[in-house]
Amino acid sequence: PGALGAAALVNGAPHFNGWVQAPSALVVETIARAGFASVTLDAQHGFATFDRIVEGIAAAALAGRPALVRLPLDGFSLAAQALDAGAAGVIAPMIDDAAMARAFVAAVKFPPIGRRSWGPNRGLSFSGLSRDGYLAEANRRTLALAMIETVEALAALDDILAVEGLDGVLIGPNDLSVALSGGAAVDPALPAVVKALDAIVAAARRAKKPAAIFANTPTLAADYAARGFSLVCLGPDLAFLQQGAARALADVGEA
Ligand code: 3PY
Ligand code: MG
């Protein structure tokens, strides 16, 4: 399925990722074959249990696409398990400061950067490398992305980006809008959110790390790509399904 190195994301054209919350193998394969460059299996707000993650990574691989996993909030124990299962990278939600980013990195990078425990299973076999080769390369080939979606994280952005082994940041504009509006609105179009975006892209450029973002709509996705976000996540699958179903009903005059 290929790796998703941070360096390629920094230098390449915008990369569109299909966000999957109901990751049966068939759904993941369908989203991957729709043409997204990679998929994300969401274990925070989606239904990506570990068994589904194991299946979902295989389904994405069948379509020749790498899979990322968004972790739940309760610690990082799933993080290295996902990499062992062949995930190309992991996304940690609600990272507020450099200490949290360092704890995340410790879980997913091998020494000397972190303390990921050895046992890479399918990650090793996908890589095509020897055991020593994987040990030498895995820190570069697997992505660790910290979600920036709180007021605290915005204030600590440069410190978070400076954490060694953290490959980049991924903006959660929904949570960020809730945070920046003091709980008054969930709306990525809020001026305070939009204003933060250019500063985030600039900070990531200074750190030579990719800035990624989740987009609620294709229009927002295109806008984020134009602003310089190098990885733009679009979805989720359940919204595609709901919107397609509603449009079909409307087309037959039922809505
Ligand atoms: C957010 O926008 O807050 C996200 O976490 C994207 O899913
Ligand atoms: Mg969020």
Cα-based distances in Å from 41 to 49, 54, 71, 90, 134? 9, 10, 9, 9, 23
Distances in Å between the alpha carbon of 177 and those of 44, 144, 172, 242? 18, 23, 9, 24
Per-domain boundaries in the chain: 6-251
The pLDDT, as a whole number, for residue 9 is 79
Neighbouring CB atoms inside 10 A of 189's CB total: 13
pLDDT (0 to 100) of residue 4: 77
- The tokens describing 81, both together, are 């398990």
Q: Which residues are catalytic?
A: 45
Tokens for 212, please give them: 């990624």
Q: Is the CB of 175 under 6 A from ligand 1?
A: yes
Tens digit of each residue's pLDDT (9 = 90 or more) over 184-228:
999 999 999 999 999 999 999 999 999 999 999 999 999 999 999
Atom 1, ligand 1: residue with shortest CA distance = 172
Cα 76 to middle of ligand 1, angstroms: 18
Q: Which amino acid is at 162?
A: A
Report the separation in Å between the CA atom of 138 and the middle of ligand 1, taken as the mean of its atom positions.
27
| pLDDT above 80: residue 176 | yes
Q: Mean of the pLDDT values across residues 87-98?
A: 98
Q: Is the CB of 104 under 6 A from ligand 1?
A: no
Calculate the alpha carbon distances from 222 to 24, 197, 217 in Å.
28, 14, 9
Measured from the alpha carbon of residue 176, the closest ligand is 1
List pLDDT tens digits, range 12-55: 788 999 999 999 999 999 999 999 999 999 999 999 999 999 99
Is 215 strand, coil or helix? strand
Pocket test for ligand 1, best of 174, 177, 180, 190 (most atoms within 8 A of CB): 174
Q: What local confidence, expressed as pLDDT, does residue 221 receive?
A: 97
Ligand 1 nearest atom to the CA of residue 188, by list position: 2
pLDDT at position 255: 64
pLDDT at 137: 96
Angle at which helix 77-84 crosses helix 98-108, to 10 degrees, equals 40
**Spacing, Cα 218 to ligand 1 middle (Å):** 15
Main-chain dihedrals φ then ψ at residue 72, nearest 5 degrees? -75, 175
- Distance from C-alpha of 83 to C-alpha of 50, rounded to nearest angstrom: 12
pLDDT band of residue 11 (cuts 50, 70, 90) is confident
- Ligand 1 pocket check for 236: Cβ under 6 Å: no
List, in sequence order, the alpha helices (H) in the chain: 6-11, 25-33, 50-62, 77-84, 98-108, 121-127, 131-141, 151-155, 157-161, 173-180, 191-207, 218-227, 237-251
For residue 21, the ligand closest to its alpha carbon is 1
- Between 92 and 13, whose confidence is greater? 92
The b/e string for 29-57 (b: 16+ C-beta within 10 A; e otherwise) is bbbbeeebbbbbbbbbebebeeebbbbbb
Average pLDDT taken over every residue of the chain: 95
CATH topology of domain 6-251: TIM Barrel (3.20.20)
Beta bridge mates, 89: 68, 143
What is the 255 CA–ligand 2 centroid distance (Å)? 31
